[in-house]
Copies of this chain bind each other. A is one copy, B any other.
Amino acid sequence: MSNIESPFEKHVFVCTSGRYCPALDGNSLEIHKAFKELVAKAGLKGKVRVNNSGCLDQCGHGPMVVVYPDAVWYSHLSLDDVPVIVEEHLVNGRPVERLRYHPPKPGGNRERPSDTRPA
């Protein structure tokens, strides 16, 4: 058994669930793809993992992304924001303050009705 506790230094989750993040609020499928491409291009493959995720329970604030273990959340993202987050946060370790999400309250913050897709 190795002493390694976590295989990745940073883990990026992009909500691609339901209709809001991927369609009505933006285009999180393109954002997910861009993160994967730019992380590889920055030489971070194997250090930073990019995954899609189910609904983050903040529908209407998307596209949403969360970076762990930092627990830094980004909201209302566009495709143009991805290279900025990759360069500033994932490469240089500085979260992009202007893009951060500050939820109105703890827990779920849906501004839109729930989808029928699994979360």
Contacts and interface: CB of A to CB of B under 8 A. Distances in A.
Interface of A: 1-9, 11, 13, 32, 36, 45-47, 49-58, 66, 68-73, 100, 102-109, 118-119
B103 A73 contact: no
- Please tell me how many copies of the chain the complex holds: 2
Interface of A (DSSP majority class)? loop
Nearest to A52: B54
A100 to B, nearest CB: 8
Contacts of A2: 102-105
A57 B53 contact: no
Contact of A7 (B49, B50, B103): B103
A105 B4 CA distance: 7
A109 B57 CA distance: 30
Nearest to A4: B103
Given A46-B106, A47-B106, A71 B73 contact: no
6 contacts: A5-B73, A7-B105, A7-B108, A49-B57, A68-B71, A69-B70
Contacts of A4: 102-106
